[in-house]
Amino acid sequence: MPTTIDPNLLQRLMALPEEQRSELAGCLIQSLDDVDTAATPEEVKAAWTAELNRRAADIDSGAVSGVPYEEAWRQIAGTDE
């Protein structure tokens, strides 16, 4: 797993019991949610609508093509050879 986190710190954190890792993950996620620049639900919806429209237009114009479901999941799982 490529990361810019200090390997020693990551190793120590990964050695924590599952319950403590879960709590740490929650704290880290909460720290991201607390950012003052968080978008409103309306802004998020508008951004996703624009992105989906852009992607649909790219497919319709032939600028990009889709990937079959099975291939996409192989790529996600890292088993694409």
Query: What local confidence, expressed as pLDDT, does residue 32 receive?
Result: 81
pLDDT, tens digit only, all 81 positions of the chain? 567 989 999 999 999 999 999 999 999 988 887 666 678 889 999 999 999 999 999 999 999 999 999 999 999 998 755
- CA distances to 8, 11, 19, 38 from 31, rounded to whole Å, are 22, 21, 18, 11
Total domain count, the chain: 2
Question: Do residue 45 and residue 57 come from a single domain?
Answer: yes
pTM summary value: 0.46
Q: Are residues 52 and 18 in the same domain?
A: no
Same-domain status, 4 and 33:
yes
Q: Are 64 and 58 in contact (CB under 8 A)?
A: yes
- Residue 74's CB is within 10 A of a number of other CB atoms, namely 14
My answer on whether 31 and 68 are in the same domain is no
Residue 2: the pLDDT is 66
Query: 1 is in which domain, residue-wise?
Result: 1-38
Same domain for 28 and 54, yes or no, is: no
